[in-house]
Amino acid sequence: MVTINLPIPLLFGSNVSEDWAWVGMPLGIAIVTALGFVLCSGHPAPMRKLCYGSIAVALSQCYPLLHMFVGSIALSICRGLDDVVRLGPNMDGILHVTAATIITGIGLILPSLMLGYFFGLILKMSRDHR
């Protein structure tokens, strides 16, 4: 599921990172993925809900308002962390890009999880109605 949710965030992320800072994107993705495996390994039901919801979030990349909104929030948070030493509009450090990637990942996981539970509720209601 991780790979189908990556194209748009990686495209936007590569446009705001400088020089070698892009290395923070795969690093952030690896951290979010590892945390996901650890958190979901003992909880299969939320993991399934997350997978179902992430399909909808992945499809929303055709009109990526959610991705742009979450990415903008992540960039604002990371830029706000060190406004004192900021020299330009782009993310110029691996730490900045890694933090922005992790925040973006969490920001896309939460709606995926909510949508997964919503889809599960709809399916349950349709089965109970029969």
Q: What value does the mean pLDDT of the chain take?
A: 81
Pick the closest to residue 55 from 102, 127, 113 (CA basis).
113
CB 54 within 8 A of CB 123: no
Residue 96: predicted pLDDT: 81
Q: How far apart are CA 40 and CA 48, in angstroms?
A: 9
Residue 89: predicted pLDDT: 56
Residue 84: predicted pLDDT: 45
Three-state secondary structure call for residue 42: coil
Residue 62: predicted pLDDT: 84
Q: What is the mean pLDDT of each run of 10 residues along the chain (130 residues)?
A: 63 69 84 88 88 90 87 83 54 78 91 94 86
Residue 39: predicted pLDDT: 85
Report the run of H or E that residue 83 belongs to, with start and end. none
Q: What is the pTM of this model?
A: 0.79
Residue 23: predicted pLDDT: 82
Residue 102: predicted pLDDT: 92
Q: How far apart are CA 101 and CA 13, in angstroms?
A: 8
Domain ranges in the chain? 3-123
CB 55 within 8 A of CB 128: no
